[in-house]
Structure 1
Amino acid sequence: MPPAPESRTDDEVLADTDVAVLLRYGLTQDAFRTALFGDGAVAAAVTLDRLGVLPRSVVFVAEIVRSGGLAYAAGLPESLPSPEPAAVLRDWLSGAAQTATTPEAESRAARWLEAVAEIIALRRATRDPETSDPS
């Protein structure tokens, strides 16, 4: 009998999710929208939270997307305060900018980023409710 596979936490499984693909298709195709705002948002939050990104930084990027568009936000050299998470986010946004060219898709992207920020804040609040700063 083969050994049982190692069990993985939900965080580990979601961290392996291809957020770039979900974002690219979820912004433009209704069939992928639920996955984008569900597993995709949680996977993005897990990834960014592990990299130490604060929710307010993600909200700031959402505001940039809303005012300047996905391509503009993707082109920023430091969309987030640290280089590694900024590179991750830039990869996600630049892929999305190639397909999500309508104002509706860009508005969805901003809403999605706000959802990611909320999930990061919730993760932080539940992890350490005494010292957590949700922003």
Structure 2
Amino acid sequence: MTAFPPKTDDELLRLDVPSTLRFGLPAEGHARRVLFGDGAIAAAVTLGRLGVLPRSVAYLARVVRAGGAAYAAALDLPLPGETPARTAGGWLAAAAGVAGGVDDDETLARWFEAVAALMELRLTAGTSPAP
């Protein structure tokens, strides 16, 4: 296995999260690993810098699980605040465009749960600003 150098938060912020969702949600293998690896970390950094609480992202995961990607994408405020809502809305729209059913909705919900867990870990470790 090849070890990759760690990425800084600023490098992760340049990652195209909607693309990781479009390619990683319906696929297995490398694209899915990128989605749940760098893609989830980039999302956690982004939302952390916007002051979003991890519990809000965990709640969004429950909404996705209950209603699906398309339902969540149609919400006016998927996360509290205008900028976080617009950010998450873009991610949800990208996912809804490729989601092919309940399995993809479940994968998206698990991804949002991973993002929330990473946000909580970053807060606990002191590597993310407190909201």
Q: What is the TM-score normalised by the length of structure 2?
A: 0.89
1:30 is displaced (CA, Å) by 1.0
Q: How far 1:81 sits from its partner (Å)?
A: 1.1
| Contiguous gaps of at least 5 residues in structure 2 | 1-6
Offset at residue 120 of structure 1 (A): 0.4
Shift in Å at residue 40 of structure 1?
A: 0.4
RMSD over aligned Cα atoms: 1.5
Larger Rg: 1
Letter in 2 for 1:74: A
Q: Distance in 1 between matches of 2:79 and 2:92?
A: 12
Q: Equivalents in 1 of 2:59, 2:53: separation in Å?
A: 10
Give structure 1 stretches of 5+ with no counterpart.
Answer: 1-8
TM-score (norm 1): 0.86
What is the aligned partner in structure 1 of residue 37 from structure 2? 38
How far did residue 101 of structure 1 move?
Answer: 2.1
Listed one character per residue, the Cα deviations across residues 56-115 of structure 1 (whole Å, up to 9, x for unaligned) are 000110000000000111111011111101100000111110111221111000000000
Q: How many residues align?
A: 122
Query: Residue 43 of structure 1: CA displacement?
Result: 0.4
**Are residue 95 (structure 1) and residue 94 (structure 2) matched?**
yes
> What pairs up with 1:40-59 in 2 under 5 angstroms?
40-59=39-58
- Asked whether 1:80 is paired with 2:58, we answer no
- Structure 1 runs (4+) deviating above 4 angstroms are none
Matches within 5 A, 1:1-135: 10-31=8-29, 32-127=31-126
* CA-to-aligned-CA distance 1:22-58 (integer Å, 9 cap, x gap): 0111110113000000000000000000000100000
